[in-house]
Structure 1
Amino acid sequence: MIRAAFVVGSISRKGGGVAEAVKLLAKAVREHPNISVEVITLKDEHFDKDIADWSGIEVRSFRYFGPSNYGFSPGLLMHLLRGHFDLSHVHGLWMFHCFVVLLWSRIRGRPYVVTPHGTMERWIVSRSPIKKWLVTKMYQARFLKSASAFHILTKKEKGDVDSMVRNSKSMVIPNFLPLATPTTDKPQWWVDGFQNKRIYLFFGRIHEKKGWRELCEAWDQQCSADAGFAARSQLVFCGWLDGSEDFRMRIEALARAHENACYAGPQFGVDKTASMQAATVFILPSKSEGLPMGVLEAWAAGIPVLMTAACNLSIGFEAGAALEIGESCEAISAGLRAADQWSQHDLDRMSNAGRQLIMERFSTESVSMKVHDLYEYVLKDGRPG
C-alpha cells in the first residue's frame, strides 16, 4: 500500500479550481486498491463550511499565521514530519506548504511529486513579482529542482515546467470528473423570463485573467448590433470576486442597457449543479489556465463550450464539444454570433461529445491507474534531491 500525503494550501472555496481538482483527484485515487490518501491543508475562514464536500476523504487541517496567500503553519510541518508517508504530492506553488514538503523530504529521505495546477504559467509567474522572487530565492528553486516528478495536467504545461526546471520528469494526468447527475431543479437566480432564452454562463473566479471584462464588452457590442440576439439571450456570471472592483458596476450597466445580464454570486453544492445545468452555453474567454475545472464540469453536464486556446483543452475542439474563441472583444463577439446560430441538433451533438470526452479521458479508472504508475515510478526510481 502506497501512503500518499496530498499537501495543498486550501481545500475550501478560497482555493478555487485547485481545491476542486484536488478533491476529485483524491476521490479517484482512493478507489485504487494500492493507494491510501490523506489530505493536509490549512484551516482558512471557509474550511468549516466547505469540509462537508470532502466526505469519505481523510483531511487534516492546521492554523496558519500571517498572510493567507502564504500560509505559514508550523502545525502542518510537524504533522507531516510525524506521519508515516511514502511520498508527498504537492498541489500548487508559491506558498509555505512547498517549504514544508522540501524540509520533510530532506529529513525523511522521501520523494515528492508536484502538481503546479497552472501556477508555473508565464502569466501567473509575472504576477506579484517581488513575492515570487523572494519565495524562489528562499526555497522554491530548490523545491522544484528536488521534485522527483511533476504531475502535469496538459502537454502545454510541460513547457511551463521546463522553463523553470531543467531535465524534469513529468507525466500528463488530467483531472478526474464524473458525469453530472441530471436535475430539473432551477438555480436561485432563475426567473420565468429565462425559459425561452439561450443562457450563456460564465462560472468561476471573477478575475482579470478570466476575460470577464472583454466578455462584457463583447456582449454589449453584440446586443447593440443585434436586437434579436439581445432579446433571445441571457448572460449569467457565477463566481467569487477576486479583485476586479468595477465588475458589479459593469454588470449593472449591461443590465440597464440590455436587460439580459446578471451576477448570481458564488455557487456551491446543489446550487452549483443547478446553475451549470441551467446553461445553454458555457463561456470562458480566459487568458491563462492550467486545466479549467469549469470547462470539464460543463462537459460533464452536457453543456457546449465557448473557450480560448489558453484553456489548454484542445481535445474539446477536436471532439466537437467546444468552439474556439479569441481573447479580444471582437473575437468573443464572433464566438457569440456563431453560438447564436447553433441549432438544437448542433447543441445536442456538442452535448454528447462533451459527455463522451469525460467518460473516455477523465474517468476514475483512467486517472487512478496513471497516478499509481507515477507513484510506483517515483518510489522505485525517483530520489529526493
Structure 2
Amino acid sequence: MMRTALVTNFCPFYRVKLFRILRERLNATFLFFSDATERNWESLNPRGGSEFAVVPLHEGGAGRWRVLWRLARHLWTADYDVLIQGVSGRQAVLVTACIARLKRTPLILWTGMWHHPSTLFHRLTFPLVRALYRRADALVVYGTHVRDYLVSLGVAPERVFIAYNTADNELYNRAVGEDEIARMRSELDAGARRVALFVGRLEREKGVDVLLEAVALMAPADRPLLVVNGRGPRMDELKAYCAARGLSTVRFLAYVPNAELYRYYALADVVVMPSRTTREFKEPWGLVANEAMNQGCVVIASDAVGAARGGLIEDGENGLVVPEGDAGALKQALERALRDDASRARLSAAARATIAGWTYERMARGFIDAVAFVATRRGRE
C-alpha cells in the first residue's frame, strides 16, 4: 500500500477527524515539527495527534536546527511514496522540498495563503516561494480564493485541488435550549437587545477596532449586545475605546473553551469577522464562520476573510460580506441583519443548509485526489 508523509506544525483539535481519514485512506504518517507556540494559535485550545502514527520532531525540547535535521534524516531514510507539506514553517518547507527533489518523490504543498506578505523579508523571498509553488507536483488549498491566487502566479490549474477548509460540525451544531439561552442573556445583561459575537485573537489584523467603531456609529437604541470572546495584546486598548465612546453594551469574555463555544453561537444573532489585511497577514480562512453557521448565525465578514472569498460565505445568500476596514459599511450590514427579521431568518436557514455539506470527508477528498493525480503522473514517467 502507498505510504504518505504529511509534514505540518502540529495537530490542532479541528484537524483530528481530517487526519483520521487521511491515515486510513492514504496510509499517512504525520511529522509534527512544532510545540504549538505559534503567535496565531490560542495556547488554551486543545491539541490532538496522539492516536496517529506520529514522528514528533520537536520531542525533548529540540531547537529549530535539530528539528530540521530530524526531519531531513527521517524523510531521507524512510520510504514514502508521496510527501505532503503544509506551508507553515519556512525552513521545514525547504527541507521537505529538497528531499523530495533529491529522492524524486512527488511533493504536494498544502496552503491557505492567498496573499504574499509585504515585509522586506517576504518581498525578498517571494521568487523562491513562487518557484516552490510552480514546481510542486500538486497543491491542496483551502478554497477557490487560494486556487485563483496560485493560478495568477503561474501554477497550472489542473495541479490545484481544493480541500475546502472544515470545522467539526458535530461539535458546534449541538442543540441549546431556550432556558439556557435565557440564562446566558441574563448573565450578560442583554435585555431585549439582539446579540452580535466576535470570536478571535485581539490583534490588529482581526479588525475588532473596526467593529467597535461600527457599533459606535449606530444609534444607541439600535446597538446590539456585542460579546467579544478572545485574548490578545489589544484588550486594554479596546476596553479603553469602549469606555471613551460610551459603548456600554460591549462584553469582553477573554476566553471560552471551544467545547463551549456552540452555546455562544446559539445565543448570537450575528457573528462578525472584520479582519483586515496587514503587512504580515491576510486571513487564510476563518473557521469561526464554519462554526457559527452550524447554529444558523448570520456571519458578517470582511472581504479580507478567506471564507468570504473561497466558497463558503455568499453575500446576500447565506451571510453578508463588507469591504475590509470600512466601519460605515459594517454598520449598515449590522443594521440590515439585526433589524430585518425575515431577512435574518432566510440567511440563517441558508447558513445551516450550506454548512451541512462541509464535511471532513469532503475536505479529505482534495488530498486524496491530489495523491491520485501525482501517483498517476509518476506512473506515466
One fold, TM greater than 0.5? yes
- Matches for 1:1-385 after TM superposition, within 5 Å: 1-11=1-11, 19=12, 22-30=15-23, 34-44=25-35, 52-54=47-49, 56-63=51-58, 64-65=62-63, 73-93=68-88, 95-118=90-113, 120-122=114-116, 125-126=117-118, 128-130=119-121, 132-133=122-123, 135-136=125-126, 140-167=129-156, 169-179=159-169, 180-184=172-176, 191-194=187-190, 196-222=192-218, 226-230=219-223, 233-241=224-232, 245-255=233-243, 257-287=246-276, 288-311=282-305, 312-313=309-310, 315-317=312-314, 320-327=317-324, 328-343=326-341, 345-360=342-357, 362-381=358-377
Q: Distance in 1 between matches of 2:16 and 2:220?
A: 43
Q: TM-score, normalised by structure 2?
A: 0.80
Structure 1 stretches of 5 or more lacking a match?
Answer: 12-18
Structure 1 residues 165 and 266, CA, compared in 2 at 3 Å: closer, same or farther? farther
Q: What amino acid does structure 1 have at the position aligned with 2:94?
A: F
* Aligned residue-pair number: 355
Structure 1 residues 214 and 371, CA, compared in 2 at 3 Å: closer, same or farther? same
After superposition, the C-alpha distances for 1:237-281 in whole angstroms (9 at most, x for unaligned) are 22342xxx4442223431561211133224433233333333221
Q: Distance in 2 between matches of 1:71 and 1:205?
A: 31
Structure 1 residue 25 displacement after superposition? 3.2
RMSD (Å) for aligned C-alpha atoms: 3.3
Match of 2:279 in 1: none
Q: Distance in 2 between matches of 1:277 and 1:60?
A: 39
Secondary structure of residue in 1 paired with 2:166: coil
Paired residues of 1:235 and 1:260 also in contact (CA < 8 A): yes
Query: Matched residues, percent identical?
Result: 17
Q: Distance in 2 between matches of 1:109 and 1:293?
A: 35
Q: Distance in 2 between matches of 1:99 and 1:300?
A: 38
Q: Distance in 2 between matches of 1:349 and 1:371?
A: 34
Q: Distance in 2 between matches of 1:248 and 1:237?
A: 13
After superposition, the C-alpha distances for 1:26-51 in whole angstroms (9 at most, x for unaligned) are 24434xx5322332222426599756
Q: TM-score, normalised by structure 1?
A: 0.79
Structure 1 residue 234 displacement after superposition? 1.4
Q: Distance in 2 between matches of 1:78 and 1:105?
A: 12
Structure 2 stretches of 5 or more lacking a match?
Answer: 277-281
Q: Distance in 1 between matches of 2:213 and 2:86?
A: 35
Q: Distance in 2 between matches of 1:321 and 1:51?
A: 30
Secondary structure of residue in 2 paired with 1:201: strand
Q: What amino acid does structure 2 have at the position aligned with 1:40?
A: L
Secondary structure of residue in 2 paired with 1:283: strand
Q: Distance in 1 between matches of 2:189 and 2:6?
A: 45
Paired residues of 2:111 and 2:141 also in contact (CA < 8 A): yes
Secondary structure of residue in 1 paired with 2:27: strand
Secondary structure of residue in 2 paired with 1:206: coil
